[in-house]
Copies of this chain bind each other. A is one copy, B any other.
Amino acid sequence: MKTAFRDVKEEIRRRIVQGVWGPDDLLPNEVDLAEEFDCARATVNRAMRELADEGMVERKRKAGTRVLPSPVRQARFHIPIVRKEIEGRGAQYRYALVNREIIDTPDWLRARLGLESGGKVLHLTCMHYGDSSPYQFEDRWINLTALPQAAEADFDTVGPNEWLIAEVPYSDAEISFSALTAEAEIAKHLGCADGDPLFLAERSTWFETRAITYVRLVFQRGYRMTTRY
């Protein structure tokens, strides 16, 4: 008997999985379960709290703990750093800056990041390769009002992602996945056909309400973002 709370958690999970406690059923309260499992209430509490975290049960004061009807409500995706992802596959990582410009912040970007009008942004486009074959196209916009030092940074050798990680301590972010069609330029960069369907990840990040960057990551053809749960 190594970790009691894990055992309790797995036993409760087992009973839910096997239908002993069906959807919307109310579980026994913590005191009773603690007695049944012969452990402290805190132990049962931890087990059930983690099950609630995972979306398996719902807990409310006084109302008790009940089994949620839908099997799974959430999945965790690990958002990889491109270089690590490529190296993790045993391939050689290569980065290249395609284009760099400083321009007035376009309206669509101001709207997306919630910016005041009038600032400048650094617009970078770059490519990430694995063993010389195109892996990801990066279209990056950095808010120079919040990060003026980005204008001086050397993005010829260091990718903007890694530069930002080192420069900005931490941030809130919004990420979304969707699909898009490769048009001429992206098709050329990614070495796919014009019109191919591509997987797109977009991320906006803020540092304490100040918008930092917005990025569009277009993945190679056939890319799949996968997770188990």
A residues 180-229 touching B (CB-CB < 8 Å): 180-181, 195-200, 205, 207-208, 222-229
Bound Cα distance A19, B225 (Å): 31
On whether the beta carbons of A76 and B79 are closer than 8 Å, the reply is: no
In this assembly, does A168 line the interface, its C-beta being within 8 Å of a C-beta of chain B?
Answer: yes
Say whether A176 contacts B227, CB under 8 Å: yes
Contacts known (A16-B169, A17-B169, A197-B197); A225 close to B76, Cβ less than 8 A: no
A16 nearest in chain B by CB position: B170
Give the docked Cα–Cα distance between A16 and B207 (Å): 12
CA distance A88 to B154 in the complex (A): 46
Q: In whole angstroms, how far apart are the Cα atoms of A17 and B173 in the complex?
A: 13
- Complex Cα distance, B229 from A170, in Å, reads 12
* Interface pick from A65-73, A103-111, A131-139: A65-73
Closest 10 CB pairs of A and B: A179-B179, A176-B226, A17-B170, A179-B197, A19-B169, A197-B197, A181-B197, A179-B199, A178-B224, A176-B224
